A and B are shown apart, each in its own frame.
Chain A
């Protein structure tokens, strides 16, 4: 019973990471497809849709990241200190990527010169790949058990961190394409529906391949974690991901445009949960548990209050924004 509140706060932290992985992931994924859309001529239609779909919600997505950070340092100060002291190269790279991405997303709306515009597309696209890679790499580094015991370089760059990074790139590409199918349908752009369905399918295949490779890496590097993922608390979530990813791919392949976005979110969310639950009760495997790192009770109570406020205030208003966005109420009256 004593562990209830600390576990709840760890769960809220996991939820914030999951929300960023799915909502932010859809955003990064759109950036990845922007990068792969070809030269200015070929990619024009796809890029216009990406811009159009992203603008209203992209910075709201980023707030999940800030929320995860403040939950971490307030709820689990020793985790925050150890992680940043060990993995600062990864966070610095992700941060620079994030800032470049925001800057150049804005800049490409301003650039008149076609070459400047092309350069802006390129920086935006590349930072959309690198930012999720480095963020997820930090989770992989944590899962590898090297935080605090290995050198900074080895803790940051090892098979586990790279495997997690690659999985996140495939995941964001998958989420991005799946949501862009929805946007293309909403705007009645038939060719783009096909275009992004094919890409979602490709990304799903890539995700299954990279995911399998990542599981093998985890098995070699952190066998205990693999055991919990496949025979412990992580199992239901790992199974959900393994089942839902092909299901989404199948739906989009057959052109059945129902449930595919919800199932995409469920597949990606379960992937994050599979890691989080498999690793619990450890925040840093073998070194730091939730009970050891948790802040004093008063801080826990405050964080719980904030979590409740997020549910009561933020979720409905966010729902309103997404509703207005998805309903196209935010679009000008059709001419």
Chain B
């Protein structure tokens, strides 16, 4: 009997495209989110470096800025491709989501379309304008990039925030009949999601860029170039780290009101209660018992309501089919812990950095500092992924919280079709990753050679940079 039921469930799972659609969306989003920090925040770091170069008449700073702009453009091109894939997936995988909520959820994406347009144009102008525009003009035109990136971030997160805390829509007979633009764009979650993610992007870009030059330090490079290229992005990222702890804390607190089921999953709270412990690590089982992990008595209640008597929502206060499953709750919880752990580690590293900088008025010279700084870049990427897993998995089984289930939004296409498409995308993405990384390594090797021997244009060999003038080959 049990066997028959299991086979029939498996067979049904094979029929619906829900599983492969979720995997495909997770895979393509997880890839795209890795490209976002450099797309949104690297232009600001590059402009900062260019500004320093112009103000101090420092050719080294200008050289660094120009090299970063090449990386920025190549990575923007890859991000444009993975972003286009995502927009089609809304139709191919989740047509009913857009059919029902497109008029509200789509607005954020429509604004993002505009921002994306401006970014693409001005990255082109910036990249191709080096030495062809006057330095001041070049810098000023580049200043269009950071606001375009911020606008894009705000609007995409408005769409995500709508999925987490939908508002501003009137639904009649299952159709959205009225939309309040501002209420639907600025839903409760937008406030904290936007700041939390924007700061994460700048932190990540800063730590990732700095990590490259931390490795250079470890390999023995100690010139003006290395110091400048390390110190500027690292200072930006380190200064933002304590701010992020604060914003992150406010975001988690806001979940208690806005998305209580997600908060219960994140904290592994089974029953609504006071004196709720804070569980670090650990896994919950289907009976609600938490195994492994460290449990700190009453801390969760204290964090939420500043009192051990504060009542914290538990998973069982939601119907079993309206809250994250046990697996999903564990995933959201562990991802949350990874994010918070990495953020705290980053804050300690930032403390070390500023301690040396302010007390000794110089950069740190400890190999251990640079080893950790070299890891900070990867740490940030992991933290961004973890944060995204927390918010997306923690919302399950809803695609629009309390209004539409993921299972009700999925395509009617057969599972085999989605599996095939997923396989094709995995192969193509692997190719792109390989091309992208080998291109970056090539550029790095050539720039290193240039610094040792003599100059060539930084863009040479990059597919999107300015090329030498078109001349016929041969005699």
Q: For the complex, would chain B's binding face be called helix, strand, loop or mixed by DSSP majority?
A: helix
Residue contact A103 to B84, C-beta cutoff 8 Å: no
Most buried by A among B76, B114, B121, B461: B121
Residue contact B116 to A77, C-beta cutoff 8 Å: no
Taking the closest CB of chain A, its distance from the CB of B399, in whole angstroms, is: 14
Report B380-400 residues with CB < 8 Å from chain A CB: none
Partner of B417, one of A48, A89, A106, A314: A89
Chain B, Cβ-Cβ closest to A313: B118
Given contacts A56-B128, A66-B83, A329-B132, contact A106 B92 (CB under 8 A): no
Residue contact A330 to B128, C-beta cutoff 8 Å: yes
CB < 8 Å A-B pair total: 239
Residue contact A66 to B442, C-beta cutoff 8 Å: no
Chain A, Cβ-Cβ closest to B82: A99
B77: chain A residues at CB < 8 Å are: 59, 102, 106
A55 within 8 A of B: yes
B87: chain A residues at CB < 8 Å are: 66, 69-70
Given contacts A69-B91, A331-B469, contact A55 B464 (CB under 8 A): yes
Stretch at the interface among B45-53, B277-285, B430-438: B430-438
Report A53-108 residues with CB < 8 Å from chain B CB: 55-57, 59-60, 62-63, 65-67, 69-71, 73-75, 77-78, 80-85, 88-89, 91-92, 95-96, 98-100, 102-103, 105-107
Report B389-414 residues with CB < 8 Å from chain A CB: 411-413
B463: chain A residues at CB < 8 Å are: 55, 105-106, 109-110
A78: chain B residues at CB < 8 Å are: 99
Residue contact A321 to B124, C-beta cutoff 8 Å: yes
A95: chain B residues at CB < 8 Å are: 84-85, 88, 92
Residue contact B116 to A332, C-beta cutoff 8 Å: no
B88: chain A residues at CB < 8 Å are: 69, 91-92, 95
A149 within 8 A of B: no
Bound-state CA distance A103–B424 (Å) is 14
Residue contact A60 to B124, C-beta cutoff 8 Å: yes
Given contacts A52-B467, A298-B178, A332-B131, contact A99 B113 (CB under 8 A): no
Bound-state CA distance A91–B411 (Å) is 13
B361: chain A residues at CB < 8 Å are: none
B373 within 8 A of A: no
Q: For the complex, would chain A's binding face be called helix, strand, loop or mixed by DSSP majority?
A: helix
Residue contact B92 to A88, C-beta cutoff 8 Å: yes
Bound-state CA distance A303–B154 (Å) is 17
Bound-state CA distance A109–B179 (Å) is 48
Report A32-65 residues with CB < 8 Å from chain B CB: 44-45, 48-49, 51-52, 55-57, 59-60, 62-63, 65
Report A108-136 residues with CB < 8 Å from chain B CB: 109-110
B34: chain A residues at CB < 8 Å are: none
A296: chain B residues at CB < 8 Å are: 103, 176-179
A335 within 8 A of B: yes
B472: chain A residues at CB < 8 Å are: 45, 189
B444: chain A residues at CB < 8 Å are: none
Bound-state CA distance A96–B424 (Å) is 8
Bound-state CA distance A125–B107 (Å) is 35
Residue contact A80 to B131, C-beta cutoff 8 Å: no
Residue contact A334 to B469, C-beta cutoff 8 Å: yes
A187 within 8 A of B: yes
A330: chain B residues at CB < 8 Å are: 128-129, 132, 466
Chain B, Cβ-Cβ closest to A183: B470
B296 within 8 A of A: no
10 A–B contacts, CB within 8 A, in A order: A59-B120, A69-B87, A70-B110, A70-B112, A77-B98, A80-B91, A85-B412, A92-B88, A152-B413, A306-B110
Listed from nearest, the 6 A-B pairs whose CB atoms lie closest are A81-B99, A74-B106, A84-B91, A295-B103, A77-B102, A109-B463
A74-B109, A324-B129, A332-B457 are known; give 5 further A-B pairs, CB within 8 A: A59-B80, A70-B112, A105-B463, A106-B74, A296-B177
